[in-house]
């Protein structure tokens, strides 16, 4: 590894991230196959729509614990908005949409990422609860079960855009980001741009891990 790289994620974070990412991807693809008749063909490679449903349900079971750990490990850094600096960041959209001379400095996660955290935390729970009830609907009252389906669809409506923006900004949109969640190491210049306040705090407290 190059010298002077900075550690931004530990092994457990990366495991949780990827178990969520993989289960979410499978859930979205299999869900799509059941939501639209024009995507029914997604069931063909797995031997039919019934198997697609089973894969969807069991991926959901993998998603639930990863969601639990994701909330547990990230709520402190990504779950708490800090005012007024986060508001200032939001007012200029973090410099992502138009040219901004001086983007307000953020900690480890910017307000956009915090919004993503909350969307996933809240709608992740909604998806889990509604999904489980939809799996065993005969044990619940009719009127309750009926509303689980639109709530599940609402979850997709909210989560997909967040997911895609996360994917875009985590890869080609912000070069140098992928390694943060693949190996855990990023360049100093990336860290200075993406989490300046966090970098400063870590340096001051002497906790910053730098590769040698």
Partner 1 sequence: MSEKIKLCDLSKCTGCRGCQLACKQWNQLPAKQTVNTGTYQNPPDLQPNTWNIIRFQEISDGNGGVDWLFRHDACMHCTDAACVKVCPSGALHYTKYGTVALDSGKCIGCKECVFACPFEVPKYDPETDKILKCDMCYSRIDNDMEPACVKACPTGALMFGDKTEILKVAYERARELGGDASVYGDKFVDGTHMVYVLPEKAGIYDKLPEKPRVPLSVIAWKDWLKPLSLLAAGGVIAGSFLHYITHGPKDTSGDGDQVSKEGGE
Q: Residues interacting with partner 1, by CB under 8 A?
A: 34-37, 40, 48-50, 52-53, 95-98, 101-103, 105, 134, 137-138, 142, 145-147, 149-150, 153-154, 156-157, 160-161, 164-165, 168, 172-177, 187-190, 192-194, 196-197, 199-200
Q: Is 26 or 73 the residue whose CB approaches partner 1 more closely? A: 26
Strands 6-7 and 185-186, sheet pairing = antiparallel
Q: Is 114 or 166 the residue whose CB approaches partner 1 more closely? A: 166
Q: How far is the CB of 85 from partner 1 (least distance, A)?
A: 13
Q: How far is the CB of 3 from partner 1 (least distance, A)?
A: 14
Q: How far is the CB of 70 from partner 1 (least distance, A)?
A: 21
Instruction: Give Cα separations from 194 to 128, 166, 175 (angstroms).
Output: 32, 14, 11
Q: Is 23 or 110 the residue whose CB approaches partner 1 more closely? A: 110
Q: Is 50 or 82 the residue whose CB approaches partner 1 more closely? A: 50
Q: How far is the CB of 168 from partner 1 (least distance, A)?
A: 4
């Amino acid at each position: 590894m190059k010298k002077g790289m900075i550690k931004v994620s530990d092994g457990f974070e990366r495991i949780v991230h990827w178990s969520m990412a993989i289960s979410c991807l499978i859930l979205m693809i299999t869900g799509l196959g059941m939501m639209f008749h024009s995507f029914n063909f997604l069931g063909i490679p797995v031997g039919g729509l019934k198997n697609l449903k089973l894969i969807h349900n069991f991926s959901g079971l993998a998603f639930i614990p990863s969601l639990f750990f994701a909330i547990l490990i990230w709520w402190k850094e990504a779950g708490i908005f800090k005012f007024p600096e986060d508001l200032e960041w939001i007012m200029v959209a973090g410099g992502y949409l138009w040219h901004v001379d001086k983007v307000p400095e953020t900690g480890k996660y910017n307000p956009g990422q915090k919004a993503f955290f909350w969307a996933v935390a809240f709608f992740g729970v909604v998806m889990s609860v509604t999904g489980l009830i939809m799996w065993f609907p005969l044990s619940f009252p009719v009127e309750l079960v009926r509303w689980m389906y639109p709530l599940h669809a609402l979850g997709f409506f909210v989560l997909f855009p967040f997911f895609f923006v996360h994917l875009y900004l985590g890869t080609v949109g912000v070069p140098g980001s992928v390694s943060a969640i693949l190996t855990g190491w990023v360049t100093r210049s990336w860290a200075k741009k993406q989490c300046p306040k966090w970098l400063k705090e870590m340096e001051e407290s002497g906790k910053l891990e730098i590769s040698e």
